[in-house]
Amino acid sequence: MFYPEELVEEIRMKNDIVDVIGSYVKLQKKGGSHMGLCPFHNEKSPSFAVSGAKQMYHCFGCGVGGNVFTFIMEYENYTFVEALKFLAGRVGVNLPEAEYSEEAKKQAGLKNRLLEINKEAAKYFYYQLKSERGQAAYGYLTNREISDDTIKQFGLGYSNKTGDDLYQYLKHLGYEDSILRESGLISFDEKKKVYDKFWNRVMYPIMDVNNRVIGFGGRVMGEGTPKYLNSPETKLFDKSRNLYGLNFARVSRKPNMIICEGYMDVIALHQAGFTNAVASLGTAFTGLQANLLKRYTNEVLLTYDSDDAGIKAALRAIPILKEAGLTAKVVDMKPYKDPDEFIKALGAEEFKKRMETARNAFLFEIEILERDYDLSDPEQKTRFFNETAKKMLVFTEEIERNNYIEAVASKYLVGFENLKKLVNRYGAQIVVGQNDQPKERRTDGGRQKNVPEDGIRQSQKILLTWLIEDTKIFDKIKGIISPDDFTEQLYQQVAGMLFEQYETEHVVTPAKIINRFESKEEQNEAASLFNMEMRGEMSESERKKALEETVMRIKKNSLDAQSKKAIENNDIQALQIIIREQADLQKLHISFNDG
């Protein structure tokens, strides 16, 4: 659904963001903003800022940010249209019937038809499971102790051994080849031969949070490969943005979510009464999936397989969950491999006990780290404590860090003060390293990275924040800085919108810009560009000097990037122009200082 931009903007302007968010979060005025505890991650000290002047919010802790629409979408788990209707009703604005552009109609029509195809395919697979041809697949599920009610709830099915069964069925329903190509269910080879993507597999429909089938997973019957096969990426299905079982888990009203590795683990847990279980879809756990979970819970229990691969998957997921503001714990399922095996062997009550005694994720990481060292050897024991101390630096709050130091010191019988000194020493080394600003450092991938690059990004953020706080700066930097001087793609996009707003309206409305971005990740980052936090108070002269230095730094970086590109392209004429501009930088500085 699409509404005129003017109407969307009217609804945004009539809903003061401080009033709206204040009805959900307790806010206190602090300077030019209102501060509160972030509703999107656990925190004890307020880092969630709401600006009435900017009509935006930003959390300096977890990084979420946006305008009044994005807040309602995130907090209430609404779509944009649902948030628009909610906010329109709040201020008494009547919404007209939605208008569709031709392209919007086409795309909406395509997605609706793909949803229809997936629904028909799911019905077909379910029918085949209960037919004579599906006996082996049905037997596989019943041997795994999956009940008929659970089979029906999850819509489990079977894809026949024949190569084009589903294709012929969908063609019979009137779907043309062009739309079937888009569905991911049918394959067309170079010789124009058509065959089903899935055959001789137990089928697991993958649903979105609104219970619509968006893709499928299939487990092969027999010795075929791959053992598990997922739908390819389509207009509906992006495996990095979805979680299997979330359509049921999100309404479970449990205090946490359980993350498993596979379909059968989720199904077995739900059947046993643990209706808050989900699984990633044949891929490593992603930040997008973590953000999706954050909408519904603050705590996650990891129940990955207890083998080496499962442990590695858990270790990869833990920092991703922490980054999203989620508390993570690890459930010990030994001596069994996964939740399905555990529940079959020991039952739901015993699994519940394991959940209640789940290990703190950080302490689990330390336990796994311990395996690499022989603690009976003094040298290896010292190395273990050094590595542990380094890991402690992820905790930025002193009280939290001290609590973990105390827990580790108690478990491994080392003095609290000794371990604390070791942690502080490594922390001091990092601070010194940052202050020294070495020219190069190595990343985990072994490639060299220039440290000042982060400084440039910071400078670009500072300038964007200052531009919305003082629009007179636009006139001061005219002829010196343009949107093209912002080297990060998103920064350049935002700067372009901001400069265009000022040129056409002589005012800037950052909250309006947020609506231009579709993904939550881009909205968060765009919001952060207008909320660069400056350390300490500045006098007018200090602010003026900082502004001049920031502008010059951005311009120099831009010219350096242009120069490098001209050299790569062997563009001598462009290079000569850039060299002249570089030589004139000092003059620009003097001119800017005088202005």
Residue 453 confidence (pLDDT) above 60:
no
Residue 590 confidence (pLDDT) above 60:
no
Residue 84 confidence (pLDDT) above 70:
yes
Res 328: pLDDT: 94
Q: Are the CB atoms for 36 and 64 separated by under 8 Å?
A: no
pLDDT digits (tens, 9 = 90+) for 456-472: 888 888 888 888 888 88
Residue 434 confidence (pLDDT) above 80:
no
Mean pLDDT of 518-522: 75
Q: Are the CB atoms for 248 and 260 separated by under 8 Å?
A: no
Res 442: pLDDT: 32
Residue 396 confidence (pLDDT) above 60:
yes
Res 102: pLDDT: 60
pLDDT digits (tens, 9 = 90+) for 150-208: 999 999 999 998 888 999 999 999 999 989 999 999 998 877 789 999 999 999 999 99
Quick one: how many helices (H) and strands (E) in the chain? 27, 18
Residue 384 confidence (pLDDT) above 50:
yes
Nearest to 274 by CA among 266, 283, 284: 266
Percent of the residues in the chain that have a pLDDT greater than 90, as a whole number: 43
Res 18: pLDDT: 94
- Answer with the residue of higher pLDDT: 502 or 127: 127
Residue 444 confidence (pLDDT) above 80:
no
Residue 592 confidence (pLDDT) above 60:
no
Residue 536 confidence (pLDDT) above 50:
no
Res 439: pLDDT: 36
Res 179: pLDDT: 92
- Answer with the residue of higher pLDDT: 360 or 39: 360
Q: How confident is the model at residue 427 (pLDDT cuts 50, 70, 90)?
A: confident
Q: Are the CB atoms for 350 and 339 separated by under 8 Å?
A: no
Res 537: pLDDT: 55
Res 567: pLDDT: 81
Highest mean pLDDT of the ranges 37-46, 247-256, 340-349: 340-349
Res 116: pLDDT: 94
CA distance 64 to 143: 46
Q: How confident is the model at residue 422 (pLDDT cuts 50, 70, 90)?
A: very high
Averaged pLDDT score across all residues of the chain: 85
Q: How confident is the model at residue 140 (pLDDT cuts 50, 70, 90)?
A: very high
pLDDT digits (tens, 9 = 90+) for 556-572: 888 888 888 878 777 77
Mean pLDDT of 423-433: 72
- What is the pairing mode between strands 186-188 and 440-442? unpaired
CA distance 126 to 109: 26
Mean pLDDT of 251-255: 84
- Answer with the residue of higher pLDDT: 91 or 458: 91
Q: Residue 448: enclosing H or E segment and its boundaries?
A: strand 448-450
Contacts for 59 with CB less than 8 Å, ≥ 6 apart: 38, 40, 41, 47, 48, 49, 65
Contacts for 574 with CB less than 8 Å, ≥ 6 apart: 562, 566
Highest mean pLDDT of the ranges 211-220, 293-302, 423-432, 577-586: 211-220
Q: How confident is the model at residue 209 (pLDDT cuts 50, 70, 90)?
A: confident
CA distance 16 to 130: 56
Res 449: pLDDT: 35
Place of tokens 């997605």: 111
User: What is the Cβ-side half-sphere exposure of residue 392, based on CA atoms within 13 angstroms?
Assistant: 28
Res 107: pLDDT: 62
Residues 528, 532, 535, 539, Cα dihedral to 10°: -160
Mean pLDDT of 487-507: 86
Residue 490 confidence (pLDDT) above 50:
yes
pLDDT digits (tens, 9 = 90+) for 318-334: 988 987 788 999 999 99
Mean pLDDT of 50-78: 86
> Model pTM?
0.61
- What is the pairing mode between strands 327-330 and 299-302? parallel
CA distance 162 to 199: 7
Lowest mean pLDDT among 218-227, 300-309, 497-506, 561-570: 561-570
Lowest mean pLDDT among 8-17, 320-329, 345-354, 407-416: 320-329
CA distance 469 to 242: 38
Both tokens of 102, joined, read 């031709």
Residue 129 confidence (pLDDT) above 80:
yes
- Answer with the residue of higher pLDDT: 522 or 537: 522
Lowest mean pLDDT among 254-258, 335-339, 467-471: 467-471
